[in-house]
Amino acid sequence: MKNKILSIFSWIFGILALSGGVLKLFSEPFIAIFLLTLGIMLFPPASHLIAKSKQARIIKILIGVAFFGSLVLGGYLQQQATPDKQLDRTKESNVKIIRQLTESYCNKNGKCPNSLEELYATGITGPFENYKAEDYFYRSVDNGKECLISTSLSTGKEYTVPCIGKNFRYLPHLLDPRGYVIR
């Protein structure tokens, strides 16, 4: 009974791993190699074919090297800071700094500024890194009771934070910071 259950799982996970590997072959090659080698090890017809081969030991070693090599190399490359990832981190950091500055302004004045220019005109500034005003979008919401700061990341997603962030009724604005219609 135990062997039958293991066999069923080998078939299911082997097919899933092989399918996933083929689907990711051109978009994420290291993940594809990982999934394909995992699928070969799990898929019963492939593992039986390897076991019957005269060079079974060499084939198993090569599959193992490819398996662990793709795992290690794929993980290493994911951690590497690309220029886009670095710029995204800088933009997110700058948005957090702007948020702190505007929250302080909002609490001090009882109203959020109408624009970032209005905020900076008061002399408030922060330790920005690679700051370009055109990279950031600011929007005052509900007659200055709240505001939103947003930037576009390299992935195409908007990174948006509220200035004060204590009222969930502004959630639709977080989903659509620039005021576009969501469909």
Residue 165 lies in a domain: yes
pLDDT digit string, tens, across residues 146-177: 888 889 888 888 888 888 776 555 556 556 66
Quickly state the pLDDT bin for 45 (edges 50, 70, 90): very high
CA distance 139 to 81: 31
Cβ(128)–Cβ(97) below 8 Å: yes
Residue 115, domain extent:
83-175
pLDDT tens digits, one per residue of 25-34:
888 888 888 8
Are residues 14 and 46 located together in one domain of the fold?
yes
- Laid out side by side, the sheet with 146-152 consists of 136-141, 146-152, 158-162
Helix (H) / strand (E) containing 13: helix 2-23
Residue 22's pLDDT is: 93
- What is this structure's pTM? 0.54
> Percent helix, strand and coil across the chain, each rounded to 5?
60, 10, 30
Q: Are residues 123 and 63 in the same domain?
A: no
Average pLDDT, the chain: 83
- Amino acid identity of residue 114, one-letter, is N
